[in-house]
Amino acid sequence: MSAFVQKVNHMKSVLKCWLPAVFVAAAAALTMVSVAADTTPTPTKRLAIVAIGDVPAKLADHAREWAEQNLAIKVDLLPAEKTSGKNLDDIAAQAVKAGGANHPHVIAIALPPEGVNNHGMRTADGRAAVVNLRPMQADKPDEETLSRRIERQTIRAMALLLDVGTCPNPQCALSRYSTLQELDQAGRNCCPPCLQKFQENAAKELLEPNKTSHFYLRRK
Ligand SMILES: [Zn+2]
């Protein structure tokens, strides 16, 4: 075999060895580009509601549906707990325990013992908030008025947990109120700026949105 033929054969064998490696490397680089292009993390967590104490199931279920539609966020309803703690702090602790790892924020709709009349509370770490049913039914409202009060209070509790504060717009569910009458006159859902802030904060926390809701603002 001449030196030339030997050299050509050597080059052929080098190419045989290297060409597949080059293709594999190119394919790997393309995969990396396509992975790098989609850096949005998948939302894996959800808000949750738990009814604690003698709370009508219908009331908690409606509050869940209302929040899921009007805040455009997925909300789980956890199994109800019939026995309520003796105050709102105890109830908040029950809610945190019920929530588990996939529910970073839990809203308790609760009926505490008589004499506990604060409208609600939020834990300092933002893990749980309590909506107190007792003062909401103190004036014996009809079923629809009570249900609407719980809608607003649930939305307020969720906003509070996601660091969306009170709102100066009286048409917004996050407006301040002092009396039940003022609460009844407030809007039943959030104004656009509050909704925007809520959904931005929810996305940062990887909370799963309800993309089928008309109130979902983050469509591309
Ligand atoms: Zn607002």
Can you tell me the mean pLDDT for 1-8? 56
Residue 153's nearest CA partner among 66, 47, 54, 215 is 66
Instruction: Tell whether 99 and 151 lie within a shared domain.
Output: yes
User: What are the structure tokens assigned to 212, written together?
Assistant: 């089928």
Q: Express each pLDDT in 110-123 by its tens digit.
A: 999 999 999 999 99
Given a cut of 90, is residue 207 above it in pLDDT? yes
Q: Give the number of domains in the chain.
A: 2
Range of the structural domain that residue 185 is part of: 47-204
What's residue 67's pLDDT?
Answer: 98
Give the model's confidence band at 44: pLDDT under 50 very low, under 70 low, under 90 confident, else very high: confident
Q: Compute the distance from residue 1 Cα to the ligand 1 centre, in Å.
A: 87
Kindly state whether residues 33 and 140 are assigned to the same domain. no
Q: Per-residue confidence at 101, pLDDT binned at 50, 70, 90?
A: confident
For position 12, what pLDDT does the model report? 56
Tokens read off for 149: 């009060």
- pLDDT score at 171: 94
Ligand 1 centre distance from Cα of residue 153 (Å): 14
Instruction: Give whole-number Cα distances, 127 to 5, 51, 102, 104, 120, in Å.
Output: 76, 16, 12, 6, 14
CA of 166 to the centre of ligand 1 (A): 7
Identity of the residue numbered 120: G
Q: What is the pLDDT of residue 218?
A: 83
One-character DSSP codes across 130-167: EEEHHHHTTT---HHHHHHHHHHHHHHHHHHHTT---B
The yes-or-no verdict on residue 7 having pLDDT over 80 is no
Q: Is the same domain home to 28 and 55?
A: no
Annotate 101-135 with b (16+ C-beta within 10 A) or e (fewer): eebbbbbbbbbbeeebeebbbbbeeebbbbbbbbe
Within a domain: 87:
yes
CA of 165 to the centre of ligand 1 (A): 9
pTM over 0.85: no
Over residues 68-96, mean pLDDT: 98
Average pLDDT, integer, range 194-198: 98
Q: How far apart are CA 114 and CA 117, in angstroms?
A: 8
**How far apart are the CA of 196 and the centre of ligand 1, in A?**
9
Task: Convert the pLDDT of each residue in 128-165 to its tens digit.
Answer: 999 999 999 999 999 999 999 999 999 999 999 999 99
- Token look-up 């003796």 returns 86
CATH assignment at residue 130: 3.40.390.10
206: CA distance to ligand 1 center in Å? 22
Q: Please answer whether residues 202 and 155 qualify as being in contact, where contact means their C-beta atoms are separated by less than 8 angstroms.
A: no
CA 169 to ligand 1 centroid distance, Å: 6
pLDDT of residue 41: 82
State in Å: Cα 191 to ligand 1 middle.
Answer: 4
Ligand 1: centre distance to CA 218 (Å): 17
23-38: pLDDT as tens digits: 555 555 555 555 555 5
Amino acid 46 reads R
How many angstroms is it from 193 CA to the middle of ligand 1? 6
Residue 15: what pLDDT?
52
pLDDT at 123: 97
Instruction: Specify if 219 maps to a domain.
Output: no
- In this structure, the answer to whether residues 31 and 59 fall within a common structural domain is no
Helices (H) and strands (E) in the chain, counts: 7, 5
